[in-house]
A and B are shown apart, each in its own frame.
Chain A
């Protein structure tokens, strides 16, 4: 039996606190992250992933539950395509990983397969953009198709560089979502937030200036090798691996900071375990129980992830990043929904 949804979605603008605390906290986190990322990039990367990887995924899931409508209505096609892409591409990239690791697909075939999947991924995003632009109020997003086809061309010419770009740009998507949340609930903070955003290229510039001629990282443990490889050291051999890992770890820490602290405070506006603002939980008692069970299950996964990290960090890290691609994909439809 369904119950009518009676959500209070009115933006809490009247009693918003001043932005000084928000700005101070954001700048402090960014400065400390840049310092630690430049000073001890491998250690900082290991610690941040251990601490925040699981919780940030859980909080992201919780945020998406808040933004997922109880009944999709005219958004049905948009969300169906979105969820199909999330599951489909996560499975596809995991399969590619297994095939490449086993050596079943090598050489040009591997290259073509990767480029093909990246092309489909781009088309999926373009289709979501198109569907979203057709919803009221209609948006003039026709420019995205030529951009998407340009990205597909790039995926065939330089697939590794394509995905490396995604890797470095993905942390910035959280800033975009946070900006939309600020616009919704704390519009008076947006100016200060944009000012904070200007500090990101400034801190990156300081990192690059300081580490441009830094010697390569000497830690040749398996974890350090994976982290360095992940940061693109194989693709950019002329760039200091210290600089690459520091840059990526810095951006990733900001990404975690947004998801673990900023969006729960600004976007959720309630404790994560309270379900009052979860539209799906208002459909019926069964849905409420289901949502609660999913959240508890997610917490269990976070705890299990911590335990596995403590037991075997390198293997857990590899498995985590294979599965965690799902959350990268999930951000696409929800970001489009927020625009």
Chain B
């Protein structure tokens, strides 16, 4: 009885882990999926109102826009595919007792597109992490098989492993049906982009506190807070001395 329960639980777990694929489906927007088009697109960025503040820092040497990561997450509804924000977010670090802070930089969980934007799926698939992960998995299966042979596995364990092999190599395919993508979010009534698009290129926009920005702003994601903050040096304030 115990063996049956364990085997059933293992099989149920493995079936739950089966991969899902979408075939011959219209992606959002009605475009046909072409070569190199990845289903893992960025999630829709929902317009939302957040607190915004402009702060003058006399020690600042450049204009910095600080965006709390929780604001980004709320705007996206949840974390992006793979739970990351892609390259360039900045170094992350572990807490006490783990690796030294920043020893592993935050990077994409899903391999990024190759530089140049060619979108060649073959080139994308042959990135070093993919190759190394494939080699490691090969070694895992080989060493696991050798261990099983040497150990003399029982029938129940062998059965579970055979099912695992089939399930692991299989996928659930959703084909010729509407993919369960969320509907596109319509732009909010106060979306600023159309208004900005009407302005002639280079038209200066007055910011609070008479701040004047040049064309370079450093963006930094913060792990805490709920306010988007614009840190400006004193030199960026028009008529600061008056």
Q: Which residues of A contact B (CB under 8 A)?
A: 45, 49, 53, 93-94, 96-97, 100-101, 106-108, 110-112, 114-115, 118-119, 140, 142-143, 145-150, 152-154, 156-164, 166-167, 170-171, 215-220, 224-238, 240-241, 248, 252, 255, 318, 321-325, 328
Asked if B137 is at the interface (CB within 8 A of a chain A CB), the reply is yes
8 Å CB interface, B185-237 against A: 221-226
Q: Are B101 and A322 in contact (CB under 8 A)?
A: yes
Known: A111-B107, A159-B104, A237-B72. A146 touches B97 (CB 8 A): no
A171 and B94 alpha carbons, distance in the complex (Å): 13
Q: Are B136 and A97 in contact (CB under 8 A)?
A: no
Q: Are B95 and A252 in contact (CB under 8 A)?
A: yes
A218 and B222 alpha carbons, distance in the complex (Å): 11
Nearest chain A CB to B97's CB is how many angstroms away? 5
Output the residue of A94, A140, A150, A218 with the most chain B CB within 10 A: A150
Asked if B140 is at the interface (CB within 8 A of a chain A CB), the reply is yes
8 Å CB interface, B123-164 against A: 128-130, 132-134, 136-137, 139-141, 143-144, 146-147, 150-151
A140 and B148 alpha carbons, distance in the complex (Å): 11
Q: Are B224 and A156 in contact (CB under 8 A)?
A: no
A118 and B103 alpha carbons, distance in the complex (Å): 10
Asked if B23 is at the interface (CB within 8 A of a chain A CB), the reply is no
Q: Are B73 and A220 in contact (CB under 8 A)?
A: no
Which residue of A is nearest B100, CB measured?
A322
Which residue of B is nearest A169, CB measured?
B98
Task: Please tell me which one of the listed residues A119, A150, A166, A220 contacts residue B94 in the complex, with CB atoms under 8 A apart.
Answer: A166
Which residue of A is nearest B78, CB measured?
A238
Known: A149-B143, A234-B90. A114 touches B83 (CB 8 A): no
A170 and B97 alpha carbons, distance in the complex (Å): 7
A170 and B139 alpha carbons, distance in the complex (Å): 26
Nearest chain B CB to A206's CB is how many angstroms away? 21
Nearest chain A CB to B169's CB is how many angstroms away? 16
A residues less than 8 Å from B28 (CB atoms): none
Q: Are A153 and B73 in contact (CB under 8 A)?
A: no
Nearest chain B CB to A30's CB is how many angstroms away? 17
Q: Are A160 and B96 in contact (CB under 8 A)?
A: no
Additional 12 contacts, C-beta under 8 A, given A150-B136, A234-B92, A248-B96: A106-B105, A149-B137, A156-B128, A156-B136, A160-B105, A161-B83, A227-B95, A229-B92, A237-B76, A238-B83, A324-B96, A325-B103
Which residue of A is nearest B71, CB measured?
A216
Asked if B82 is at the interface (CB within 8 A of a chain A CB), the reply is yes
A residues less than 8 Å from B64 (CB atoms): none
Interface of A is mostly: helix
Q: Are B222 and A231 in contact (CB under 8 A)?
A: no
Asked if B47 is at the interface (CB within 8 A of a chain A CB), the reply is no
Task: Please tell me which one of the listed residues B83, B137, B140, B223 contacts residue A241 in the complex, with CB atoms under 8 A apart.
Answer: B223
B residues less than 8 Å from A235 (CB atoms): 83-84, 92, 106
Nearest chain A CB to B105's CB is how many angstroms away? 5
Q: Are A230 and B96 in contact (CB under 8 A)?
A: yes
Q: Are A217 and B224 in contact (CB under 8 A)?
A: yes
8 Å CB interface, B86-120 against A: 87-107, 109
Q: 24 A–B contact pairs at CB < 8 A?
A: A97-B100, A97-B101, A100-B102, A110-B107, A111-B107, A149-B136, A160-B105, A160-B106, A163-B99, A171-B97, A218-B226, A220-B225, A225-B223, A230-B101, A233-B223, A233-B224, A234-B89, A234-B90, A235-B92, A236-B79, A255-B97, A324-B96, A325-B98, A328-B98
Q: Are A324 and B97 in contact (CB under 8 A)?
A: yes
Nearest chain B CB to A302's CB is how many angstroms away? 16
A112 and B130 alpha carbons, distance in the complex (Å): 11
Output the residue of A101, A107, A225, A233 with the most chain B CB within 10 A: A233
Asked if B25 is at the interface (CB within 8 A of a chain A CB), the reply is no
Q: Are A93 and B223 in contact (CB under 8 A)?
A: no
